[in-house]
Amino acid sequence: MAKTAARQPVPARRADAERNIAAILEAGMRLLSADPTASVADIAKAAGVGRVTLYGHFPSREALVDAVLDHAVGVADAVLADDSLDTEPAPEAMARLLRSSWEVLDRHRRLFLAADRVLPTERIREHHEAPLRRVERLIARGRHEGDFRTDLPLGWLVTTFFSIIHSAAQEREAGRLGAVEVEPVLVTTMLSLLTANG
């Protein structure tokens, strides 16, 4: 370590570290989305870094899965960014947000399952703060415009979105929901929850 430090100027080392971290997160997202049991060694190999380097950045498989999930949610949130969420009627915007959220969650379903195995649900939810803010803004607008119910707490309705879409991922993985069933089931479930007169 000291030897390398002596040979390499600091900015180059920092750039190396950043490149390695980016490669590890990309490889982790790809491998865990295919197989939730992918090992640290598999991910290091796919990222083209040594295990020692990987453990230098992520001291345990749990820390690695945590970082990969955070990275994947960041990528997903960029996909969900869409100005018409703020303008089209709230029920239509909700159906569209559900469909695009499901599309991206389904693609990374096994990464979510890998996270579910090693992280508390509360931690997984923390990583979803940015997309859940979009959900919250949309539900709040729907309530304000009279399309969505106001007899249940706003925070609880946001939680049901998180909970129901992740349940769908479990059901899909367990084969209890078919590939083509999920979208209409999610839209029907969430819209009847949001629009029912309590």
Structure-token pair, residue 96? 């569209």
Residue among 9, 156, 179, 180 that touches a second copy (CB under 8 A)? 156
Smaller CB distance to a second copy: residue 124 or 130?
124
Residue among 46, 100, 167, 183 that touches a second copy (CB under 8 A)? 167
Number of residues that bind a second copy (CB under 8 A): 36
- Report in angstroms how near the CB of residue 171 gets to a second copy at its nearest: 6
CB under 8 A: which stretch of 26-34, 50-58, 94-102, 121-129 binds a second copy? Answer: 121-129
Give the amino acid at 36. Answer: P
For residues 128 and 162, is the Cβ–Cβ distance under 8 A?
Answer: yes
What is the spatial distance between Cα 102 and Cα 71, in angstroms, rounded to a whole number?
17
For residues 134 and 85, is the Cβ–Cβ distance under 8 A?
Answer: yes
Residue among 30, 57, 61, 125 that touches a second copy (CB under 8 A)? 125
Those residues with Cβ within 8 angstroms of residue 185's Cβ, 6 or more apart along the chain or in another chain: 168, 177
Smaller CB distance to a second copy: residue 117 or 144?
117
- Report in angstroms how near the CB of residue 24 gets to a second copy at its nearest: 24
Report CA dihedral (98, 29, 119, 96) to the nearest 10 degrees.
Answer: 0
What is the spatial distance between Cα 128 and Cα 126, in angstroms, rounded to a whole number?
5
- Report in angstroms how near the CB of residue 82 gets to a second copy at its nearest: 25
CB under 8 A: which stretch of 9-17, 63-71, 138-146, 163-171 binds a second copy? Answer: 163-171
